[in-house]
Amino acid sequence: MKRAASLALAACLLASAAGTTLAQPPVAASSSARVTPAQTAVLLAAVKKEIRDRYVFADRRDAMIKALDAGQASGRYAVTDPFELASRIGADLESSSRDKHMALSWSPAQYAAATAPANGPAAPDNAFWRTQAIRRNSGLTEQKILPGNVRYVKLAAFLWEDDLSPIAYDGAMRFLAGGDAAIIDLRGNGGGDPAAVNYLTSHFLPADQLLVSFHMGGDKPDLSKTAARPAGRITTPLYVLIDDGVASAGEEFAYHVEQFKLGELIGQTTAGAANRNDGVPIAPGFMLSISIGQPEHPVSKTNWEGVGVKPAVETAPAKALDVALVRALTTLEAAAPPTDKARYAWARTDAAARAKPVSLAAPAAAYAGKFGAVTVELAGDILTLRLPERPAARLTPLGPDLFAIGDAPRRARFVRTGGAVTGLELLRENGEVKVYPKG
């Protein structure tokens, strides 16, 4: 079975497919590998042939070939380091085509897997991708329960194996479905297999929903439709984290979230790599990514090529998780019965302080002192709180006079009278308050 996919760019997750290769001994996968001028000439000839024969946009083929010819004539490719050679050729392919799926990588291990004799009905590179899927849990690398029972899953890449990945995705989606809200973190997800995107999206939409029409140059497009509804359907509020490292298949899912209004995108505009690509092994150890299809979304009637997918809420990628958590908890608090509002508000305070650090109402030294059995000390610019027979815990500002106490399930709120700090309250989520006068 040949894989054709929208795949990772920066991480060089290129699905291998049968391509034009000229027999030469493979170069060992090491930092000492070198490419000869003869191998470079064969590489460029193979790349040009793939462009002429397979590149989806016929009107851009000549521009790419002219760019390669110019680079070759100028001596730009007269380097022996295969990584540098791949970088230079790949940069010229992308700039001349304006297509972020046009890329070249030096990957001897993947080349060897892609060109190995087939063993049975599976594609020869299945062992390579199966190993990746096993080691990275099909790309689902992390899951955790955040405050307020907001469930989080990190999706680092869209890896797919028919017998393994549905189990991994169903488990992750059941985990998300048990939360009051769900966050899927795509930041840095350079892409992967479209089968994984299809299966993930099928947890949010009815069966047989058209997702993408891939125009492959023939009379009929290749249609991607949702599968029969898998286990773990998500109905809770959904937030998806994105940045400019999200590309290709990662962008496809983000685009579905936007176009089908499945949730809210938080972060930074994505890379803008929409076309469907194939990976082609080229001697002595290169992988060429070449666009072979143009996607069309049923809602927008276009795609995200060159423009990326824009977030509904723009924020620095490093802050995206806390911003999403604040928005999730705010939404949940607004809709919650009175008995649950305090729980969401408590959780939201921590996330809000991380998303936008607060300013203290007084100099840090004003909070230091004895408050009954509680001691607050200042060392440098760090405040700590110590209870009897307990180690000191760092105080982290959550509000003008409100602090988190290390990892404890309590908070410290300082009381002021006439502007001066006169007391300390230790708070619990259940509403319990203990008061300690200063002095």
What is the SS3 string spanning the chain?
A: CCCCECCCCCCCCCCECCCCCCCCCCCCCCCCCCCCHHHHHHHHHHHHHHHHHHCCCHHHHHHHHHHHHHHHHHCCCCCCCHHHHHHHHHHHHHHHHCCCCCEEEECHHHHHHHHCCCCCCCCCCHHHHHHHHHHCHHHEEEEEEECCCEEEEEECCECCCCCCHHHHHHHHHHHHHCCCEEEEECCCCCCECHHHHHHHHCCCCCCCCEEEEEECCCCCCEEEECCCCCCCCCCCCEEEEECCCCCCHHHHHHHHHHHCCCCEEEECCCCCCCCEEEEEEECCCEEEEEEEEEEECCCCCCCCCCCCCCCCEECCHHHHHHHHHHHHHHHHHHHCCHHHHHHHHHHHHHHHHHHCCCCCCCCHHHHCEEECCEEEEEECCEEEEECCCCCCEEEEECCCCEEEECCCCEEEEEEEECCEEEEEEEEECCCCEEEEECC
Q: Does the pLDDT value for residue 12 go beyond 70?
A: no
Report CA torsion sign: 58, 59, 65, 71: negative
Whether the per-residue pLDDT at 232 is higher than 80: the answer is no
**What residues does 424 pair with on adjacent strands?**
414, 436
pLDDT reading at 389 higher than 90: no
Per-residue pLDDT band at 118 (split at 50, 70, 90): low
Q: With a cut of 90, say whether residue 27 has pLDDT above it.
A: no
d(CA 81, CA 31): 9
- The answer, yes or no, to whether residue 15 has pLDDT greater than 60, is no
What percent of the chain has pLDDT above 70? 90
Q: Is the pLDDT of residue 122 over 50?
A: no
Q: What is the pLDDT of residue 6?
A: 38
Inter-residue contact 157 to 139 (CB < 8 Å): yes
Choose between 14 and 296: higher pLDDT: 296
Looking at residue 117, its pLDDT comes to 78
Give yes or no for residue 125 having a pLDDT over 90.
Answer: no
- Asked if residues 126 and 110 have their Cβ atoms less than 8 Å apart, the reply is no
User: In the chain, pLDDT over 90 holds for what percent of residues?
Assistant: 80
- At residue 362, the pLDDT reads 87
Predicted confidence band of residue 22 (pLDDT cuts 50, 70, 90): very low
- Report, as an integer, the average pLDDT of 407-417: 94
pLDDT for res 128: 77
Confidence of residue 14 (pLDDT cuts 50, 70, 90): very low
- Quickly count: other Cβ atoms within 10 Å of residue 278's Cβ: 24
Judge whether residue 23 has pLDDT over 80. Answer: no
Give residue for tokens 């509680």: 374
Q: What is the pLDDT of residue 127?
A: 77
Tell me what pLDDT residue 208 has: 94
10 Å Cβ neighbour count for 275?
Answer: 26
Among 17-21, 70-74, 200-204, 352-356, name the one with the lowest average pLDDT: 17-21
Q: With bands split at pLDDT 50, 70 and 90, how would you rate the model's confidence at 113?
A: confident
The pLDDT of 403-414, averaged and rounded, is: 94
**Integer Rg of the chain from CA:** 27
> At residue 11, does pLDDT exceed 60?
no
Mean pLDDT of 115-144: 80
CATH 3.90.226.10 given to domain 126-280+291-328: yes
